[in-house]
């Protein structure tokens, strides 16, 4: 407010919230209707059934008027009891926050340590579950796309590990920064509770979050004893059957969700995923051409949603981000907790096309120069060569 408005659009290239498309903004900008009236029921049913397609589930999806953190809590309190053992994988900052929440809620957490450069280790999960012959562990919790590091864990491999150990633990997965950007299959991958949020791949503002709930998780919730009221699946599911909510829903965000779902389905989910894969690859080519290091160590786990880049020794990632913001009006993601000031994160998710990505990478390349960060030129060129040479679905029909 203290500055005159800069010309052109702000580049919001953090790994969520992502840019909200104009179509979605306009949909949100409609009059709020009676959430118990007939029109609302139609809207409610449409977004609930659309979200099932996005999660790839025939089972229940719950929509909360809450940030992703609320949906994390909902997953734990609905399915677990005080003192239950849960096995969680330390993939980075967000996995650590989920773990802290579980401890606060009175769960006994076993945190499988990680170096914040790899995904969840399926072999470790298998070994730990095999050793748990008494089946004390009630849930395995994994963050699909660790937004702090740009590492995507292999969820089918975790499922296989649980099955190989013949262990009955529930599988809970956080897809807050992957849903609608990276392939995800709640039913096929045998996930019991999938947690997600509105502000990343779903291209909405923050404020909605989700649980997809398997029949097994729903059955577990019948005897689970952690206190819950607002987050209770049961009442929600009963009232959702007709498209309504037990309390006042975030009506205008649901208008936005309706529109965003239409955009995702008209592009086609597979095309959406392929688009993100291309952006991830183009970005990594740029980073390598600059001579900088990608935080994710395992190419099989590279995230298509964001790339975390390690700052050269002796240089401040935050000072660099500040230079980029000041000179080019672009926000990049900061390093979180132990990665603070050591990495910057490039968001390449949501409502993004080849030229938005090129603009983003150009802002970074110019910023590296301005901030005096040692690098080679040619990152943007490397990305452009890849984008021009790799077939994408035509953006505009000829
Ligand atoms: N989990 C992941 C993977 C996230 O990226 C985030 C937010 O960035 C969260 C959880 C927390 O969600 P929220 O900030 O919406 O509460």
**CB-ligand 1 contact for 347 (6 Å cutoff):** no
User: Which residues of 203-278 form beta strands (DSSP E)?
Assistant: 209-213
**CB-ligand 1 contact for 259 (6 Å cutoff):** no
The domain locations on the chain are 11-18+268-389, 22-265
Pocket test for ligand 1, best of 16, 147, 306, 339 (most atoms within 8 A of CB): 147
Rounded to an integer, the average pLDDT of 175-192 is: 98
11-18+268-389 and 22-265, same CATH topology: no
Closest CA to 263 of 39, 25, 15: 25
| pLDDT tens sequence across 243-287 | 999 999 999 999 999 999 999 999 999 999 999 999 999 999 999
Helix (H) or strand (E) run with residue 31 in it: none
Within 10 angstroms of residue 62's Cβ, the number of other Cβ atoms is 23
pTM attached to this predicted model: 0.97
pLDDT for residue 390: 85
* Pairing mode of beta strands 85-89, 137-143: parallel
Q: What is the CATH number of domain 22-265?
A: 3.40.640.10
| pLDDT tens sequence across 31-85 | 999 999 999 999 999 999 999 999 999 999 999 999 999 999 999 999 999 999 9
* Options 3.30.710.10, 3.90.226.10, 3.90.1150.10, 3.40.190.10; CATH of 11-18+268-389: 3.90.1150.10
- Residue 345 annotated as binding? yes
Pocket test for ligand 1, best of 12, 18, 66, 69 (most atoms within 8 A of CB): 69
Residue 265 token pair: 């389905």
- DSSP string across 114-155: --SSS---HHHHHHHHHH-TT--EEEEEEESEETTTTEE--H
Beta partners for residue 333, in sequence order:
345
Rounded to the nearest angstrom, the distance between the alpha carbon of 391 and the centre of ligand 1 is: 32
């Amino acid at each position: 407010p203290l500055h005159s408005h800069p010309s052109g659009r702000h580049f919001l290239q953090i790994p969520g919230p992502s840019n909200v498309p104009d179509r979605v903004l306009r949909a949100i900008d409609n009059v709020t209707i009676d959430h118990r009236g007939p029109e609302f029921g139609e809207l409610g049913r449409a977004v609930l059934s659309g979200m099932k397609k996005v999660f790839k589930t025939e089972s229940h999806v719950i929509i909360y008027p809450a940030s992703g953190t609320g949906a994390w809590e909902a997953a734990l309190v609905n399915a677990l009891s005080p003192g239950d053992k849960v096995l969680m994988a330390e993939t980075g900052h967000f996995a650590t926050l989920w773990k802290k929440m579980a401890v606060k809620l009175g769960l006994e957490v076993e945190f499988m340590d990680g170096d914040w450069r790899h995904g969840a280790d399926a072999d470790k999960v298998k070994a730990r579950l095999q050793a748990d012959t008494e089946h004390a562990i009630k849930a395995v919790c994994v963050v699909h796309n660790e937004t702090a590091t740009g590492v995507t864990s292999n969820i089918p491999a975790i499922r296989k590990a649980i099955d190989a150990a013949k262990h009955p633990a529930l599988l809970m997965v956080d897809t807050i920064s992957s849903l609608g950007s990276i392939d995800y299959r709640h039913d096929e991958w045998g996930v019991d509770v999938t947690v997600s949020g509105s502000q990343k791949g779903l291209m909405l503002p923050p404020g909605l979050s989700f649980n997809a709930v398997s029949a097994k998780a729903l059955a577990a919730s019948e005897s689970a004893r952690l206190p819950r009221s607002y987050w209770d699946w049961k009442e929600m599911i009963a009232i959702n059957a007709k498209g309504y909510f037990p309390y006042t829903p975030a009506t205008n965000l649901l208008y936005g969700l309706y529109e965003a779902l239409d955009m995702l389905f008209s592009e086609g989910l597979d095309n959406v995923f392929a688009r993100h894969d291309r952006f991830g690859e183009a970005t990594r080519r740029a980073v390598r051409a600059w001579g900088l290091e990608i935080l994710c160590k395992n190419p099989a786990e590279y995230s298509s949603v964001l790339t975390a880049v390690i700052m050269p020794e002796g240089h401040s990632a935050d000072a660099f981000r500040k230079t980029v913001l000041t000179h080019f009006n672009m926000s990049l993601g900061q390093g979180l907790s132990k990665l603070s000031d050591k990495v910057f994160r490039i968001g390449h998710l949501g409502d993004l096309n080849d030229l938005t990505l090129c603009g983003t990478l150009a802002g970074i390349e110019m910023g590296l120069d301005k901030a005096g960060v040692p690098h080679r030129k040619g990152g943007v060129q490397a990305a452009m060569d890849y984008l021009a040479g790799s077939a994408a679905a035509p953006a505009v029909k000829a």
